[in-house]
């Protein structure tokens, strides 16, 4: 004995074959779901009489023991354990003898690995969603605490109009809430049991895939055994969800890098969430934020690489599919770590509100408010834009301060000049979803509601 398939083979496997093909080093993290799948399968075999009640009990006891050995760290993997599925079945057979040798009846590693991966993804997506919700909660707390503080909003990385700091932070929250929605949606789509599809075509034995699907808590069973054993759309989708989430973390990371630079000076990182330089004693570096940016490249690469793996595969199972597992595990790990590290960074950082305000109080940032003042008096916007543009040009050329030019202008005057006062432009961003305090307080309520709803969805899915 040795491999699962030794019967047909004369000699043992070459070292080079094992070294290249064995997936145990990474798929051992499927052990818990593999054991769950085997429990459901042997109970299914028991229900249709393919194993006797005693045999079922013996196999279930052996599976319990395997689980206990793994938890205790005493489980011994063998050189010939190609993958975790082999290792578990091999040990069950050692423990339960002939009853154990019946465990794989009507089952293939092809439906088994698809089942395991889907079960694993169901858990992993909830963990990622939990991390994303936690980061959203941090952003929401910080937004609430920011009150009426404001900073320049940017387009093209040029100062454009003042916005509330809360508004800026909430922009990242809403991107994450789309990610959370995508994670739930992806989880719903992959909630299909492949168990019972066999190697590719089902079986002559009276298995009941609906029953094992229900036993495992899947929403339904597969429709087509070829599709069930060869489909890894769900892995690609998870990788996409994580890549886009990673891109969102990267964009947040990039802003943290900019804001914590001396040039911006909008953000001071807590010591616990920044790093030093090995040579330059004065340095404090935003390495978490940089890695959030850097790791997005790896997440995108994992998605692109796995799509390339899938694109040429004929039906049904091909060993190439094994290439999905490492990027999947890695992407989940990296995103969970990133969410937690960024969450800590944002929670503990100090916003330099004076710096932000000073950067936003350039009167020219209120130029559009002057134009809108003229619009309220009936001037077509395009004409108003030209009038104010002319005043800004004169002010920039050193003619006079913008406020004086505005106050002296026949169509504008002192009332319009007051629009340039610090804090007035942002307060006037009153339209729904806009950047001013009135609109943002509505937004904060909505963000609370959205988070509560998503927390409930998470709770319901975890139950």
Give the residues lining the site for ligand ARG (CB under 6 A).
Answer: 23, 27, 83, 109-110, 113, 317, 319, 321-322, 325
In the three-class reduction of DSSP (H, G, I as helix; E, B as strand; rest coil), residue 114 is classed as helix
Instruction: Report yes or no: 227 and 313 within 8 Å, Cβ to Cβ.
Output: no
Residue placing its CB nearer to ligand ARG in the complex, 109 or 385: 109
**Contacts of 45 by beta carbon, 8 Å cutoff, 6+ apart:** 51, 56, 102, 103, 105, 106, 207
At its nearest, how many Å lie between ligand ARG and the CB of residue 310? 13
| CA distances in angstroms from 205 to 46, 48, 101, 463, listed in the order given | 12, 9, 16, 33
At its nearest, how many Å lie between ligand ARG and the CB of residue 27? 6
Q: What is the Cα–Cα distance from 18 to 81, expressed in whole angstroms?
A: 9
Structure tokens, 78? 């063998």
At its nearest, how many Å lie between ligand ARG and the CB of residue 322? 4
Write down the catalytic residue from 52, 261, 277, 462.
277
In the three-class reduction of DSSP (H, G, I as helix; E, B as strand; rest coil), residue 234 is classed as helix
Q: How many residues are recorded in the chain?
A: 463
Instruction: Report yes or no: 267 and 351 within 8 Å, Cβ to Cβ.
Output: yes
Q: What is the Cα–Cα distance from 40 to 312, expressed in whole angstroms?
A: 33
Residue placing its CB nearer to ligand ARG in the complex, 82 or 237: 82
At its nearest, how many Å lie between ligand ARG and the CB of residue 187? 21
The answer to whether residue 277 is catalytic is yes
Residue placing its CB nearer to ligand ARG in the complex, 326 or 362: 326
Separation of first and last alpha carbons in the chain? 42
**Contacts of 141 by beta carbon, 8 Å cutoff, 6+ apart:** 347
Torsion of CA 407, 411, 415, 418, to 10 degrees: -50
User: Number of H helices and number of E strands within the chain?
Assistant: 19, 6
Residue identified by tokens 């963990």 is 127
At its nearest, how many Å lie between ligand ARG and the CB of residue 35? 16
Cβ count near 285 (within 10 Å): 15
At its nearest, how many Å lie between ligand ARG and the CB of residue 37? 13
Q: How many CA atoms lie within 13 Å of 181's alpha carbon, on the beta-carbon side?
A: 9
Instruction: Report yes or no: 217 and 306 within 8 Å, Cβ to Cβ.
Output: no
Residue placing its CB nearer to ligand ARG in the complex, 27 or 191: 27
Residue placing its CB nearer to ligand ARG in the complex, 87 or 299: 87
Q: What is the Cα–Cα distance from 31 to 112, expressed in whole angstroms?
A: 12
Residue placing its CB nearer to ligand ARG in the complex, 325 or 334: 325
Q: What is the Cα–Cα distance from 370 to 151, expressed in whole angstroms?
A: 20
Residue placing its CB nearer to ligand ARG in the complex, 106 or 162: 106
At its nearest, how many Å lie between ligand ARG and the CB of residue 229? 9
In the three-class reduction of DSSP (H, G, I as helix; E, B as strand; rest coil), residue 278 is classed as coil
Residue placing its CB nearer to ligand ARG in the complex, 23 or 136: 23
At its nearest, how many Å lie between ligand ARG and the CB of residue 312? 16
Cβ count near 446 (within 10 Å): 12
Nearest to 57 by CA among 69, 68, 43: 43
Active site positions, annotated: 156, 277
């Amino acid at each position: 004995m040795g491999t699962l398939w030794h019967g047909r083979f004369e000699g043992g496997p070459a070292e080079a074959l094992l070294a290249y093909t064995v997936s145990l080093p990474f798929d051992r993290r499927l052990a818990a779901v593999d054991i769950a799948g085997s429990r459901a399968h042997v109970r299914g075999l028991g229900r249709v009489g393919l194993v006797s009640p005693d045999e079922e009990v013996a196999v279930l006891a052996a599976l319990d023991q395997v689980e206990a050995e793994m938890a205790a760290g005493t489980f011994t993997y063998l050189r010939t354990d190609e993958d975790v599925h082999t290792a578990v079945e091999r040990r069950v057979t050692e423990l339960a003898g002939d009853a154990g040798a019946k465990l794989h009846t009507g089952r293939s590693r092809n439906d088994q690995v698809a089942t395991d991966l889907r079960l694993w993804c169901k858990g992993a997506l909830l963990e990622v969603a939990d991390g994303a919700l936690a980061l959203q909660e941090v952003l929401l707390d910080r937004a609430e605490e920011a009150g009426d503080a404001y900073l320049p909003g940017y387009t093209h990385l040029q100062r454009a109009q003042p916005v509330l700091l809360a508004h800026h932070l909430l922009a990242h929250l809403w991107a994450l809430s789309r990610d959370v929605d995508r994670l739930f949606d992806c989880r719903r789509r992959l909630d299909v049991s492949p168990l019972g599809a066999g190697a590719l075509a089902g079986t002559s034995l009276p298995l009941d895939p609906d029953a094992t699907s229900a036993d495992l808590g899947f929403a339904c069973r597969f429709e087509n055994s070829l599709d069930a054993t060869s489909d890894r759309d769900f892995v690609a989708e998870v990788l996409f969800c994580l890549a886009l989430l990673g891109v969102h973390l990267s964009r947040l990371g990039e802003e943290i890098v900019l804001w914590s630079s001396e040039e911006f000076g909008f953000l001071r990182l807590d010591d616990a969430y920044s790093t030093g330089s090995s040579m330059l004693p004065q340095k404090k570096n935003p390495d978490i934020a940089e890695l959030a940016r850097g790791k997005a490249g790896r997440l995108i690469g994992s998605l692109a690489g796995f799509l390339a793996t899938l694109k040429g595969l004929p039906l049904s199972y091909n060993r190439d599919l094994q290439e999905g597992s490492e990027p999947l595990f890695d992407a989940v790990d990296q995103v969970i770590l990133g969410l937690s590290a960024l969450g800590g960074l944002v929670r503990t950082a100090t916003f330099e509100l004076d710096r932000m305000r000073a950067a936003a109080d350039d009167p020219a940032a209120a130029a559009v408010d002057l134009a809108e003042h003229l619009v309220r008096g009936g001037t077509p916007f395009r004409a108003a834009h030209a009038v104010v543009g002319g005043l800004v040009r004169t002010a920039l050329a050193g003619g006079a301060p913008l406020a004086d030019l505005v106050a002296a202008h026949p169509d504008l005057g002192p009332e319009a000049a007051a629009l340039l006062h610090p804090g007035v432009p942002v307060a006037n961003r009153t339209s729904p979803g806009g950047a001013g305090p009135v609109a943002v307080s509505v937004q904060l309520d909505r963000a609370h509601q959205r988070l509560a709803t998503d927390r409930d969805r998470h709770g319901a899915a975890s139950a």
